[in-house]
Amino acid sequence: MPLLVTDHRRDILGFRYIYPVVSRRAGGVSVGINLNPNNACNWRCIYCQVPDLVRGNAPQLDLAVLEAELAAMLDDIVHGDFMQRNVPEDVRRLNDLALSGNGEPTSSRQFGDVVTVLGRQLAHFGLLGKIKLVLITNGSQLYKPMVQEALTRMREMNGEVWFKYDRAPQEGVSFVNQVALTPAQIKRHLILASTRCPTWLQTCMFAVDGEPPAETELGAWLGLLREAIDAGARPEGVLLYGLARPSTQPEAPRLTRLPETWMRDFAGRIEQMGLPVKLSL
């Protein structure tokens, strides 16, 4: 079955940890590394597509299985005909390895070991420095020295962080991400990420009960970002996107896509701050 931007199933190949997707934000094939096959995350974003999501951390990983699956996947892409069999012709490009999956990847105690495995396989297939190594994260574990050290090593592997920043102030974060997070924590974590590895903010915008985010929320979002930059954060830009796949959370019936004009208008406001925006509608 061809890969589609609307289908990011983690079990598409029957692997435990590795899954390929066509990423609209990446503009090509992304090989996902799922460190949370137990569907556990320390956040519960109301737009999350993970079925049977539970609160928790990543389980103990079998690193030998993870590495074997990744090697098989990369061998089929680099030396086989995976692209021809599975990928639409206009996106037959290997863009990245992405630490993403069904929960927060940095919640794994083996996160640093996983980065080592990925670097080894990238080097083995001649891909080190030629494709991106992406960490998709909510940033909540950036206070851990182990995670900070791994991000520093990722920088040397052509690494990039996609740091979730959906809402401000605290009330918006509490509703959209279902977590208690202060503006000070967001700023501190963004500084920690962006000073260790190139970091893009990833922001999902959508309507709730037919209403777009209020102007007070948007002003708070822009204001907190400005404060973080003034305090030393160095984001590369913003990955602004809307709903592409249905949420599996209880709030799903309340969520709808925003008009293109709204999304482009907000992108323009971000660009006025001097940050580039990659918009995915």
All residues at 6 or more sequence positions from 213 whose CB lies less than 8 Å from its CB, including other chains: 167, 172, 205, 221
- How far is the CA of 158 from the CAs of 122, 134, 198, in angstroms? 11, 9, 9
* pLDDT band at 24; cut points 50, 70, 90: low
Q: What is the mean pLDDT of residues 223-232?
A: 98
Q: Domain 18-279 classified CATH 3.20.20.70? A: yes
- How far is the CA of 92 from the CAs of 7, 26, 243, in angstroms? 16, 12, 24
Is 52's pLDDT higher than 70? yes
pLDDT in the model for residue 5 = 46
Lowest-confidence region among 16-20, 66-70, 198-202: 16-20
pLDDT in the model for residue 245 = 83
- How far is the CA of 211 from the CAs of 202, 207, 231, 248, 268, in angstroms? 21, 5, 33, 20, 20
Cis bond upstream, residue 169 (ω within 30): yes
* pLDDT band at 90; cut points 50, 70, 90: confident
